[in-house]
Structure 1
Amino acid sequence: MRVMLLGATGLVGGLALPMLLDDPLCRAVVAPTRRPLGLSHPKLHAPVLQFDGLPDAPDWAQVDAVICALGSTMAQAGSREAFHRIDHDYPLAFARLARTQGARAFVLNSAAGANAGSAIFYNRVKGELERDLRALGFASLTLVRPGLIGGQRQQV
């Protein structure tokens, strides 16, 4: 299986990456990032990209599944607009790209309380992403809704 991992430089993605690389069922991991990952592995391809302008049909986007741990906090994003772009627009753009390239499965690390109709901005953005991912027609869509995620975050 070829897997695309979004958010490999973050807390959750950084924990998932070594597990994917060690898994014998995973023959390749594509981990697009906005800055160099700083890791080399025979199964890893980590293109450095501008997420605001993804290429139309790159070879690296031909994956079987996507795991999305891409996201930010309101404090890190700095504004509602930036948060929406990072936590909704970027994951959705990658999902569309991977889906058009044949991906059949998508796993999203979302949030407890995700609801497109929520009055709480954070929960609404997460819910909107879940809704928009459902519309893409993945054969398998897994929405993980953890509560507060603790751990050491790398500040960029």
Structure 2
Amino acid sequence: MVGEGVMHECLQHPAVEAVLLINRKPSGFSHPKLKEIVHTDFYNFSAIENQLAGYNACFFCLGVSSVGMSEQEYYRVTYTLTLHVASTLSRLNPEMTFCYVSGAGTDSSEKGRFRWARVKGKTENELTRLPFKQVFNFRPGFIKPTRYLKNANKYYQYIGWLFPLGRALYPSGFCTMEELGKAMINSARQGYEKPILEGTDIIELARRQPVSGIRESFT
């Protein structure tokens, strides 16, 4: 859901020149700005490395729930895979902005009670040490999906009515898919004051207009 929603915002945004989508299977999407690579092994990008250079930003939206997964498999998918992709991209694109979709409650100390939060925290911490231009870790909570997109989780249709109430009572825990996508785009265009963005930071950054003199287009 997040990957599709962020892609949608990028394709609609006038400052985005081109989007490269890397998937394990064809997405079925078509757009003049969009190029897609179907690649099944995200632990080995050697076969497609020559197509990954020249990009200003990576919006990394891949992720899984820890429910029902062994500790080793969750670590492999969440930490090992993410760091492999990020390490490859930092080598090919040292001026790249890397945006990682983490999650509310992530544990930066890596010592907390919840396994998933520790692994996410370790992933965030290691990403910030890579030689990117800048790294931003996004920690959304409840995300209201964009209407008419096909990959919205079905449970949102049953609890979507909670969004206005949750946003009013606890704005840091509730953002829209549009806000998340626009915030990621704006982070690549103009940066942000801190590397970890909670819900209120996402909302704030999504609303910002570019400052004068900033590069107006990117890929």
TM range (shorter): 0.7 to 0.9
Amino acid at match of 1:84: Y
Are residue 92 (structure 1) and residue 83 (structure 2) matched?
yes
Query: What letter is aligned with 1:122?
Result: W
1:153 equivalenced with 2:153 (yes/no): yes
Name the structure where helix makes up a greater proportion of residues.
2
Is 1:64 paired with 2:56?
Answer: yes
Give the equivalent residue in structure 2 for 1:120. 114
- Deviations along 1:85-111, one digit per CA (max 9) or x if unpaired, are 222222211111111111421111111
Match of 2:98 among 92, 97, 106: 106
Q: Tell me how far apart the structure 2 counterparts of residues 119 and 79 of structure 1 sit (CA, whole Å).
A: 16
User: Do the aligned partners of 2:43 and 2:85 also contact (CA within 8 Å) in 1?
Assistant: no
Asked if 2 retains the 8 angstrom alpha-carbon contact of 1:28 and 1:44, the reply is yes
1:66, 1:107 within 8 Å by CA — same for their partners in 2? yes
Q: Tell me the distance in 1 between the aligned counterparts of 2:65 and 2:70.
A: 10
Aligned to 1:135: 129
Give the distance between the partners of 1:67 and 1:108, measured in 2 at CA. Answer: 6
Q: Which has the larger radius of gyration?
A: 2
CA–CA distance in 2 between the matches of 1:33 and 1:60? Answer: 14
Aligned-residue sequence identity (percent) comes to: 27
Q: Which runs of 5+ in 2 are unaligned?
A: 146-151, 155-219
Q: Which amino acid aligns with 1:66?
A: C
Contact 1:36 1:48 in 2 (8 A): yes
Q: With the length of structure 2 as denominator, give the TM-score of the two structures.
A: 0.59
Root-mean-square deviation (CA, aligned residues, Å) is 2.0
* Number of residue equivalences: 143
Q: What corresponds to 1:48 in structure 2? A: 38
**What residue is the counterpart of 2:167 in the other structure?**
none
Cα pair distance change 1:61/1:90, threshold 3 Å: same
Task: Find the counterpart in structure 2 of residue 14 from structure 1.
Answer: 4
Which piece of structure 1 moves more, 56-65 or 108-117? Answer: 56-65
CA distance, structure 2, for counterparts of residue 74 and residue 27 of structure 1: 35
The TM-score with structure 1 as length reference comes to: 0.81
Say if 1:136 and 1:123 are closer, same or farther in 2 by CA, change over 3 A: same
- The question of whether the paired residues in 1 share the 8 Å contact of 2:101 and 2:138 is answered with yes
